[in-house]
């Protein structure tokens, strides 16, 4: 269970915009988020959310995080995300969806969303995701000592230059495919890589992987990594989370 005090430590100075057309869910979730964030604004559809986003951006008070549903009237979450990235390509966007079909999710994955959370909302999962993301905004949050070391836990690191995994300074053996897979996931910490992304990355590395074997690769690699650092998002893909 998420430690509320720890979450508040990282989110209390941040602002969030929440777009959701279901009024009861929007109100209830907004009230929960207000316990942790400095400012939380909500919108009933993508069009209203985009107007709020533009206003905040023009006033010099941009939102730190965007949380949006996929299916909304007037403007859906996919189009909203596209419009937001046109204004700020580095904006952090978290997507909520009751759907796991590729027609909804692949466009968002290709856009580079930060996180995907399935509805109905598991609030512990949502708060966990917010904790991971919010740490990026805080000066005293744990960070990598250099650009080549990815810190997966207090004991585990992956060095992108040497392509080596370490536990308390001791090297852990990785197969060729495990190295390639970790290279992909550590290029975009916290973001989702679909099966299509994985197959394409392996192809660019002059290797071939059958999509049916990706799950087996994940299962074997997960045994070598710290608990919960390699996540599977059902129907979407995989991601690595780090400190």
**87 and 156 together in one domain:** no
Check residues 200 and 117 and name the one with the higher pLDDT: 200
- Closest to 193 (Cα-Cα) out of 219, 218, 169: 218
Q: Report if residue 143 sits inside a domain.
A: no
Per-chain mean pLDDT for the chain: 85
Check residues 151 and 213 and name the one with the higher pLDDT: 213
**Domains in the chain, number:** 2
Check residues 188 and 194 and name the one with the higher pLDDT: 194
> In angstroms, rounded to a whole number, what is the distance separating the alpha carbons of residues 13 and 243?
19
Model confidence pLDDT, tens digit, residues 47-63: 999 999 999 988 888 99
Residue 129 has pLDDT above 80, yes or no: yes
Residue 140 has pLDDT above 50, yes or no: no
Beta bridge partners of 118: 97
Helix (H, G, I), strand (E, B) or coil at 150: strand
Contact (CB, 8 A) for 11 and 37: yes
pLDDT of residue 145: 40
Domain end (from 104, 137, 170)? 137
**181 and 153 together in one domain:** yes
pLDDT band at 143 (very low <50, low <70, confident <90, very high): very low
pLDDT of residue 147: 56
How many helices (H) and strands (E) are present in the chain, helices listed first? 9, 11
Residue 139 has pLDDT above 50, yes or no: no
pLDDT band at 207 (very low <50, low <70, confident <90, very high): very high
Q: What does the block give as tokens for 22?
A: 């279901």
**166 and 114 together in one domain:** no
Q: Report if residue 174 sits inside a domain.
A: yes
**26 and 76 together in one domain:** yes
Give the residue-averaged pLDDT of 153-167. 87
Which range of residues forms the domain containing residue 61?
4-137
> In angstroms, rounded to a whole number, what is the distance separating the alpha carbons of residues 119 and 11?
23
Contact (CB, 8 A) for 232 and 149: no
Beta bridge partners of 242: none
pLDDT of residue 92: 87
Domain end (from 109, 137, 165)? 137
pLDDT cut 70: percent of the chain above it: 87
pLDDT of residue 31: 94
- Say how many residues make up the chain: 243
**132 and 154 together in one domain:** no
Ramachandran region, residue 113 (left: φ > 0; alpha: ψ -120 to 50; beta: rest): beta
pLDDT band at 192 (very low <50, low <70, confident <90, very high): confident
**131 and 153 together in one domain:** no
Beta bridge partners of 232: 238
Domain harbouring 9, CATH code: 3.40.50.2300
Of 51-65, 108-122, 123-137, 180-194, which gets the smallest average pLDDT?
A: 108-122
Residue with tokens 């905004």: 137
């Amino acid at each position: 269970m998420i430690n509320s005090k720890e979450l508040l430590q990282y989110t209390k100075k941040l602002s969030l915009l929440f777009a959701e057309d279901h009024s009861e869910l929007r109100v209830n979730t907004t009230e929960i988020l207000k316990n942790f964030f400095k400012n939380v604004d909500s919108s009933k559809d993508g069009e209203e959310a985009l107007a709020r986003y533009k206003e905040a951006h023009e006033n010099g008070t941009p939102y730190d995080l965007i949380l949006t549903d996929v299916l909304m009237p007037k403007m859906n979450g996919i189009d909203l995300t596209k419009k937001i990235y046109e204004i700020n390509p580095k904006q952090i966007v978290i997507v909520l969806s009751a759907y796991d079909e590729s027609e909804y999710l692949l466009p968002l994955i290709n856009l580079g969303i930060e996180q995907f959370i399935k509805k109905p909302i598991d609030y512990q999962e949502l708060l966990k995701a917010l904790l991971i993301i919010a740490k990026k905004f805080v000066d005293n949050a744990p960070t990598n000592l250099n650009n080549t070391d990815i810190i997966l836990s207090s004991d585990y690191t992956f060095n992108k230059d040497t392509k080596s995994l370490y536990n308390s300074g001791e090297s852990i053996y990785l197969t060729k495919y495990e190295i390639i897979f970790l290279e992909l996931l550590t290029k975009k910490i916290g973001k989702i890589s679909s099966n299509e992304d994985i197959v394409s990355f392996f192809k660019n590395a002059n290797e071939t992987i059958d999509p049916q074997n990706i799950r087996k690769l994940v299962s074997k690699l997960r045994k070598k990594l710290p608990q919960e650092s390699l996540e599977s998002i059902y129907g979407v893909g995989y991601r690595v989370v780090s400190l």
